[in-house]
Amino acid sequence: MDLVGTVVVAVWAMLPAYVPNNAAVLAGGGRPIDGGRSLGDRRLLGDGKTWRGTAVGTAAGVALAVALNALRPAAADALGVVLPAFPPAAMGTLAFGAMVGDIAASFLKRRTGRRRGAAFPVVDQLDFVVVALALTALAVPAWVGDTFGLPVLVTVAVLTPALHLLTNGIAYALGVKDEPW
Ligand code: CTP
Ligand code: MG
């Protein structure tokens, strides 16, 4: 596969894990997952992790994976790239894993004394892909093995922080997100 093909496959395969965070920002609010509880003198997760944001984010990722499967033949033709189809289990684990990664990062942020919204470089940019891929690898190892060869994995690791900063920067500029990270 050439570089363009590798980048196209990396973005295509990760889109169901990319979109949940953005959907959660738009849909967030309501009851926090930790119910306001603290661990020691700090919040368990904080008000930035809500049931609604998590549910809508996961649903958005799954819906996108369903749409991508439908678009795949036409997109593969137009782009001249062999694109992966998402098995049902991968749809759920990519989307839900992304949300779990983000929630786990908030847990770590609170434990390390970072307030809600504080930046946690590297963790903020990669938490969701690491957990999304790990959960998916447990659920559908053969699909992950076939789809994520080393070049695709390296592309994901390099491209994800850039895309994350770009989309969050746009969301901040539009006034829908409180911080640009
Ligand atoms: N959000 C949500 N539920 C989630 C993730 C995000 O409701 N599971 C919404 C919240 O409104 C949150 C916003 O999306 O404030 C931005 O998400 P994020 O940057 O991940 O949260 P922060 O508010 O920055 O909190 P933290 O420091 O814990 O990451
Ligand atoms: Mg934040």
Among 23, 166, 39, 178, CA closest to 102: 23
Q: Is 117 left (phi over 0), alpha (psi -120 to 50) or beta?
A: left
Structural domain harbouring 17: 3-173
24-53: pLDDT as tens digits: 999 989 999 999 999 999 999 999 999 999
pLDDT band at 126 (very low <50, low <70, confident <90, very high): very high
- In the reported structure, the alpha carbon of residue 27 is separated from the centroid of ligand 2 by a whole-number distance in angstroms of 14
Structural domain contains residue 82: yes
pLDDT band at 137 (very low <50, low <70, confident <90, very high): very high
Residue 46, ligand 1, Cβ within 6 A: yes
Within 10 Å of residue 167's Cβ, how many Cβ atoms?
16
Structural domain contains residue 180: no
pLDDT at 39: 96
Inform me whether the pLDDT recorded for 142 exceeds 90.
Answer: yes
Q: For residue 62, what are the contacts with CB-CB under 8 A and spacing of at least 6?
A: 16, 91, 92, 95
Inform me whether the pLDDT recorded for 93 exceeds 90.
Answer: yes
Is the CB of residue 99 less than 8 Å from the CB of residue 16?
A: no
Q: For residue 89, what are the contacts with CB-CB under 8 A and spacing of at least 6?
A: 136, 139, 140
Question: What is the amino acid identity at position 76?
Answer: A
Structural domain contains residue 110: yes
Looking at every residue in the chain, the average pLDDT score rounds to 97
CA distance 162 to 25: 18
pLDDT band at 136 (very low <50, low <70, confident <90, very high): very high
pLDDT band at 145 (very low <50, low <70, confident <90, very high): very high
Inform me whether the pLDDT recorded for 163 exceeds 90.
Answer: yes
Residue 48, ligand 1, Cβ within 6 A: yes
Within 10 Å of residue 166's Cβ, how many Cβ atoms?
10
Count: domains in the chain: 1
Tokens found for residue 4: 């363009």
Please tell me the residue having the least CA distance from ligand 1 atom 24.
117
Structural domain contains residue 178: no
1-29: pLDDT as tens digits: 799 999 999 999 999 999 999 999 999 89
pLDDT more than 90, % of the chain: 98
Residue 99, ligand 1, Cβ within 6 A: yes
Residue 175 has, within 13 A of its CA and on its CB side, a CA count of: 0
